[in-house]
Amino acid sequence: MPLVEHLRELRNRLAKAVVAIVVVMIAAAFYSEQLMQFLAEPVPKCEDLANSDGGNCAIVSFNTLTSPFTTTIKVSLMAGLIVSSPVWLYQLWAFVAPGLHKHEKKYTYYFVAAAVPLFVGGAYLSYVILPVSIKVLLSLTPGGSANILSLDEVLDFTIRMVLVFGLAFELPLLLIMLNLVGIVSGRRMAGWWRGVVMGVFVFGAVATPTTDPVGMIALSGPIVVLYFVAVAFSLLNDKRRARRESAGPADDEASELDLTPESIEPVEPVAALPEQATKDRVNGYDDVT
């Protein structure tokens, strides 16, 4: 397919993905209030200012005139991206798949099949940890003070927690993909375990929006477990790759060419022109001419 056809196909794929996102976004706008209540549910709410003293609860409200509109757009867009993800992911796959080999397509299927449950598991864990983390943060409120939170900030906080946990759960899967393409071996990954464990806990302390140890441990603990699962998988995959390489190339792979000569023999020099039999000229030309 020429370049112009590729660009035309890319335009059509992007148009279909955008249409799917916009359609779901418009439908989600009618349920934006329910979505806001769901995302703000982890925050313990006070009935009025009289009961908001200290850090037991908080009052969630809009602080600016445009906050209801911007929050509705933000929540609807997030719902559109998530709900329409099968459509735009398929469009992305349909554009890339014709250029992949058979084994590369197989790895892509495995990656998608594992990435979705990992992200959903991380997002669900963050939603479970959110009430505990928010209570820890609210407990730091001194007596005589009230917590009046902006709903926009609460939603940003919740979405950020969900995204951090969901994407962090993809890190071990990334290591597995690097091993499958032959960049990192399982033995090397196993030798990194001390630094990885320390780095994961540092990442958990920095990446989580909360400053409490509950969120850090809840994020770092499962990632460490998944890392060792990735190491075990990579070690088994290295053994399988060694057995496959000893058996020869696959049907869709080219064998390596051995360009090393069996023996090196001297080559006799050859004259650029044959020697003249005589120096006499015929009609002014020598015999070579």
- For residue 45, name the pLDDT band (cuts at 50, 70, 90): confident
Task: Name the nearest CA neighbour of 168 among 95, 222, 104, 237.
Answer: 222
pLDDT band at 36 (very low <50, low <70, confident <90, very high): confident
Q: Are 182 and 199 in contact (CB under 8 A)?
A: no
pLDDT at 209 over 70: no
Give residue 62's pLDDT band: very low, low, confident or very high (50, 70, 90). Answer: confident
Cβ proximity of 252 and 101 under 8 Å = yes
Nearest to 129 by CA among 55, 222, 11: 222
Which pLDDT score is estimated for 115?
80
pLDDT band, residue 122 (cuts 50/70/90): confident
Q: What is the mean pLDDT of the chain?
A: 77
Q: Is the pLDDT of residue 26 over 80?
A: yes
Is pLDDT at 259 greater than 70 in this prediction?
Answer: no
Is residue 59 within 8 Å of residue 49, measured between CB atoms? yes
Q: Which of 48-52, 66-70, 142-146, 217-221 has the lowest mean pLDDT?
A: 48-52
Residue 136, pLDDT score: 75
Nearest to 146 by CA among 41, 253, 55: 55
Could you report the per-residue pLDDT of 136-161, keeping only the tens digit for each?
Answer: 777 777 766 677 778 888 888 888 88
Q: Which string of DSSP letters, residue by residue, matches the chain?
A: --HHHHHHHHHHHHHHHHHHHHHHHHHHHTTHHHHHHHHHTTSPBPSSGGG-BSSS-BEEE--SSSHHHHHHHHHHHHHHHHHTHHHHHHHHHHHHGGGS-HHHHHHHHHHHHHHHHHHHHHHHHHHHHHHHHHHHHHTTPPTT-B-EEEHHHHHHHHHHHHHHHHHHTTHHHHHHHHHHTTSS-HHHHHHTHHHHHHHHHHHHHHHSSS-SHHHHHHHHHHHHHHHHHHHHHHHHHHHHHHHHHHT---TTSPPPP----S---PPPP--SSPPPS-S--BTTB-S--
What are the structure tokens assigned to 283, written together?
Answer: 């009609």
Q: What's at 274, amino acid-wise?
A: P
pLDDT of residue 40 exceeding 60: yes
Cβ neighbours for 110, distance < 8 A, ≥ 6 positions apart = none
Kindly state the average pLDDT of the residues 155-173: 81
Mean pLDDT of 164-188: 81
Query: Predicted confidence band at 23 (pLDDT cuts at 50, 70, 90)?
Result: very high
Whether 126 has a pLDDT exceeding 70, the answer reads yes
Higher pLDDT, 104 or 16: 16
Q: Is the pLDDT of residue 8 over 60?
A: yes
pLDDT digits (tens, 9 = 90+) for 63-109: 777 778 888 888 888 888 888 888 887 888 777 777 767 776 777 77
Print the SS3 string covering 10-70.
Answer: HHHHHHHHHHHHHHHHHHHHCCHHHHHHHHHCCCCECCCHHHCECCCCEEEECCCCCHHHH
**What is the pTM assigned to this prediction?**
0.66
Assess contact for 220 and 200: CB atoms under 8 A: yes
